[in-house]
Amino acid sequence: MGDLPPPIDPNRLVHEPGRLALLAVLNAVEEADFLFLMDQTGLTKGNLSSHTSKLEGAGYIEIEKAFVGKIPRTIYRLTGEGATALQEYRAHMSGVLGSIE
């Protein structure tokens, strides 16, 4: 039997549940801060920081440090690349799930 392609080969960066949730939240809003992302995803501070760094490294989100008065506020936004990656991931997974029904 020849080599068969793997049935599931998703974008690993998006496939991780924490990062997928982060991308989904940022896909739904224009921009959000750290607390909002924590509240919506249920991730801990450490996990959230780690995931956002990876997503920023891949160019999927952009991070902006700002101040509201004297209080620092880090703002997160989904980039066009991130939106495309999420869209492609969804299409890929829908195709995979459709193929096994």
Q: Which residues are at the interface with another protein (CB under 8 A)?
A: 17-18, 20-21, 24-25, 27-43, 45, 48-49, 52, 63, 68, 71-75, 90
Nearer to another protein, 25 or 58 (CB): 25
Q: What angle do CA 16, 20, 23 make, to 5 degrees?
A: 145
- Asked whether 82 and 26 are in contact (CB, 8 A), the reply is yes
Q: Which tokens belong to 92?
A: 């890929």
Nearer to another protein, 1 or 59 (CB): 59
Nearer to another protein, 17 or 59 (CB): 17
Minimal distance in Å, beta carbon 29 to another protein?
Answer: 5
**What φ, ψ does residue 70 adopt, rounded to 5°?**
-105, 5
